[in-house]
Amino acid sequence: MHDFSRRRLLRTSAAAGAAAVVLPGIVAAEAPGASAASALSGSAKSRPAKLTGRIVTPNDPGYADASLGWDELFVHYPLVIVYAQNTQDVVNALTWARQHDVALRVRSGGHSLEGWSNVDNGIVIDVSELKSVHIDTASRTATVGAGLNQLEAVTTLAEKDLAVTTGTEGSVGLSGATLGGGFGFLTRYLGMACDSLTAAEIVVASDPDCAKVVTADLKNNSDLLWALRGAGNGNFGIVTSLTYKAAPLKSVAYLQATWDGIRDLQRVFDAWQRTGPSADNRLGTQLEVHRNEILLFGVLAEGTAAEAKKLLAPILSIGKPEVSVQIGNWGDVYAGFQIPIEDEPANWKFFSQFTTEPFPKKAISLIASFMRDAPTDASNFFTQAFGGAVRREPRGGTAFPHRNALFYSEPGAGWGTRGVPGSGDELTPVAQAWIAEFSQALRPYVNGAYVNVPNIGMQDWETAYWESNFDRLRKIKAKYDPHNVFQYEQSIPPASC
């Protein structure tokens, strides 16, 4: 539970004390094209580090916006935010943090759903401005900066009739989504987002108080590549670029169906869970239940409107849904269904879970019951069909373990007005209690959890996220971050701890 009056007090205190903040080693930003070659050697003893890049401190007019993430439920006051313009800026920032014994967090899209990409009185190393893109159409590979968001990645690749799996929210950082696993409409067709990751450039801590750049691929540090594929968010180092194996994709059929009210939920949900995970692998589907409507979304890769409707006929035949189908380039379709951030609620709370057996009637009734009592219209129960290509691991394997799931789901509550401090405070305890009770009621029917949608306070979160892979992840952590430089509330500890 968050005390929002205390939040406002902290904001006032931070502003009052800003003039007293002294940050040694801050210099002007280097040119965006500066080389990172000097970082590659990782000398035995680092010289005193200086912060470079676009630097924001509490004295700066843009500090309030820079220190706020997508989920405004969480507010932190970092000592400094470094927006890296190149890999060397990241090396400098990590070295500086270590030399000054300052807590650090890594941020890309700012969508950490528990606010863990931010920190009070520490340094935030933000890679969101690393937006380089190199696409080799002959080999169908794409090397991109870690700052691309999913919308930028989808539309840029689509210009070349290529695609990789991403989530549905365009403003989410591509690297964050990928490093936690990553799934969306193309999951059943192309596998998890991390399955397409073939290499990464990552800045890691090195002794005694330094930082260096390493490459993780199937030939170099292959154990680290395995860990980054599903457990890479802020655990081992700071990823600055990612290389993907892309797939050809010229067009999709995008279907949306809407049922007014939720009286048909029992039949719609049961039909979906028995259709979506076992349909043609080209078809990816999501079901969203709101308190006043049911929404079905489907994307059929290289498909027609008639094919999409036929594949989804067992669901669409229930009740009288309003159905529409759009045929087009994946980038255009993806951009078309984005909701502007300013139109979204300010505050969000989620609970993630996987399902390996179809929900019985009682479970679906629970969903209907809780959704009727949802705290806001924006609150929903969201599902994503698995199956298909998810069941195939790529060469080298991945740390993501939930490949036998039928579907992923999460209850989510959204409330408050974006950009208005304290907005929705009266709903905060109601929304948080609703999520807690909803998730508890579904526990007999679900298992596991998704690290990109962390479950705060969950017992045995280590195995919920990574199952039997956790011990191996701890050993890899001990190899690349033995001093546990990269740590947060649910980070992986090194095996020696």
pLDDT digits (tens, 9 = 90+) for 276-334: 999 999 999 999 999 999 999 999 999 999 999 999 999 999 999 999 999 999 999 99
Q: What is the pLDDT of residues 318-332, one digit of tens each?
A: 999 999 999 999 999
Report the mean per-residue pLDDT for the chain: 92
Nearest to 146 by CA among 188, 189, 218, 199: 199
Give the list of residues 6+ apart from residue 41 with CB closer than 8 angstroms, or none. 212
DSSP, collapsed to helix, strand or coil, labels residue 137 as coil
Q: What is the pLDDT of residues 147-184, one digit of tens each?
A: 999 999 999 999 999 999 999 999 999 999 999 999 99
What is the percent of the chain where pLDDT is above 70? 91
pLDDT of residue 32: 35
The pLDDT of residue 108 is above 50: yes
Mean pLDDT, range 451-460, rounded to an integer: 95
CA distances from 467 to 22, 448, 450 (A): 44, 8, 11
Domain 251-462 carries which CATH code?
3.40.462.20
Question: Do the domains 251-462 and 54-126 match in fold?
Answer: no
Residue boundaries of the structural domains of the chain? 54-126, 133-248+467-480, 251-462
What whole-number distance in Å separates Cα of residue 475 and Cα of residue 6? Answer: 40
The pLDDT of residue 9 is above 80: no
What whole-number distance in Å separates Cα of residue 493 and Cα of residue 497? Answer: 6
The pLDDT of residue 35 is above 50: no
CATH class belonging to 54-126: alpha beta
DSSP, collapsed to helix, strand or coil, labels residue 12 as helix
pLDDT class for 457, splitting at 50, 70, 90?
confident
Query: Taking the model in full, what pTM does it have?
Result: 0.91
Mean pLDDT, range 373-390, rounded to an integer: 98
pLDDT class for 22, splitting at 50, 70, 90?
low
Domain 133-248+467-480 carries which CATH code?
3.30.465.10
Q: Tokens in use for 387?
A: 């199956």
Contact call for residues 477 and 492 (beta carbons, < 8 A): yes
